[in-house]
Structures are given as structure tokens and as C-alpha cells.
Amino acid sequence: MKVLVCDKTEKDCIEKMRAAGLTVDTSFEITPEELMTVLPAYDVVVVRSRTKIRQPLIDVCPNLKLIVRGGVGLDTIDVEYARGKGVAVKNTPLASSASVAELAIGYMFMLARSQYKASATMKAEKWEKKAFEGDEIGGKTLGLIGYGNIGKETAKRASLLGMDVVVYDPFVAKVDGVKLVSLDELLSQADYISLHLPKTKESTNLISADQFAKMKAGVRIINCARGGIIDESALYEALTSGKVAAAALDVFSEEPPVDWKLLKLDNVIASPHIGAATKEAQTRIGAEVAQIVIDFSKN
């Protein structure tokens, strides 16, 4: 079988597939236009966040048998269309869960103690000791929107830190150690809200002006899930009005952003979609991708 790896992937992953007898080519900077020409010759394509596999591409790839997404979400792939064409679609939902959860927890600490502002003043050679009275996160309520693998890892860590965890997930009927609530209940109770759900037609702009109105004044929001779940215009208004005290964002409606207005607010901290960007997660993702492809080729 011929495998094309389109996005940066661990070298050990590539070598493991080759050792199993597969022909593996890499093209980490391939453009969408080039992919339309090149991919028809391959049986398997491995992608990460950068490369999108949409219907027009699938239509010109009669040999394609398997799409593997190294990561959690599948929103960059037309999954149902691919499967309807007989193409299997796989991902690695567990490999980066701990890394994303740790980023979300780290962001909570940063927001609670204004560490981003404090660090900036020190770099500017200012000693503003009395300007940074923060909050403890212990005893606060964390609302998790989405309770998949990452949500569970986040809940586990938050509970150990003494937070009360409430969860909204319409696809979950039972939870252990946390409280399952409606979305409105979560919005009204949470001191911190962290998103851990895929972007779908139903979840696009799930958090908009109406939802911000139902939140506690001074709530803090973390999004390490997908851009577009929060209405960024409504978030900007909530941040500038003081309804939302601060936000930490790892994902955006457009990546990279076209309008940087939101990110320039003093009460926003951000990162360029690095939730899974740890050495440990990348190693696990690579190993899982290789095993998926090898097992598929055997069967």
C-alpha cells in the first residue's frame, strides 16, 4: 500500500510504517492544488490540522482507502462523504487528551492570577506588586461544555485542585464524580467555563450573546476545543463590557486570525492552536497513527 503523509509527523511513525512493508512518502508543505494532482496515486493519506480532505479531493482519488487524522477532531475531513465512498476514516482521540487538558488547567491558573499581565509589567521593568491580587481556583465552579476524553481529563485535574465541576453534554447520560446539568444551569453557575467539544453544525456559535447574558458577571472562559464554537464578536463585546473578566483562547474561527482585534484586548491570552503540541502527545499520536495504518493494511 502507498501512504502519503501530508503534515509533520514523528519520524518514528514514518519508519515504523516503512518497516511494516508500506511505501510511505512525506510532503509536509503540500498545497491543496498539489494534493489534487498527487493524492490519486495513494491508498492512504495521513493528515493533521493543516491539510483538509474535502469532497472534491475525495472524488478524484479512486484508490483512496483510508484517511487518518493524527489528532482528536475530524472537522477538517468530509467524514460522512468519505465513508459513503467506501473510504475508512480514523483518528487518534486519546493520544493528546492529557496535553490539551493540561493547557486548559494552565490557562485557568494564568487567568486567576493575571500572570500574563504581571509578566508583561516585569519585562517593562515595573514593580506593580499591589496591582495583581488574584483568586484561588480551589472552591470555584468549573463548567465543562463537552465531556469526551479531553473533558474527562480536565475534570479529573480540576477536581484534584478542589474545584466543583459541572458538565453539559447532550450525548452523555451518566457521569462519575461530577454533576451533569443543562447548558443554562452551567452558564449561570460556573466561575470558569472550558470548552471541550467538536465543531459541528449544532455547536457552531453555541456560545453567543444570549449565552453570555446568562453567565455570572466576571466569568472566565477557556477554549482549547475548536474555533467557531464561540461567537467571537459576542465574546469581544462580553470582554469589553466586563461581563466576561478574561478569556484564554487556543483556537479561532479562522486560523491564523484575519481580524486580531479580539486578541489585542488586555484581558485575553492566546496561543496558536498548541493544545496537542507536547513531546509526549506527538509521540503517542505518531505511534497510534502508524499502528492504525499497519493494522488496516493487514486486514
In the block, residue with C-alpha cell 475548536 = 226
The Cα 25–Cα 93 span in angstroms is 24
**E-only strand ranges, 141-199:** 141-145, 164-168, 179-180, 192-195
Selected catalytic residue, list 113, 185, 237, 273: 273
The question of whether 255 is a catalytic residue gets the answer yes
The question of whether 273 is a catalytic residue gets the answer yes
Selected catalytic residue, list 10, 226, 232, 284: 226
The Cα 88–Cα 295 span in angstroms is 13
Is 250 strand, coil or helix? Answer: coil
Selected catalytic residue, list 29, 128, 255, 280: 255
C-alpha cell at 279: 513531546
Is 165 strand, coil or helix? Answer: strand
Which secondary-structure segment (H or E) carries 269?
strand 268-270
Cis peptide before 256 (omega within 30 of 0): yes
The Cα 183–Cα 274 span in angstroms is 27
Catalytic residue numbers, as ranges: 226, 255, 273
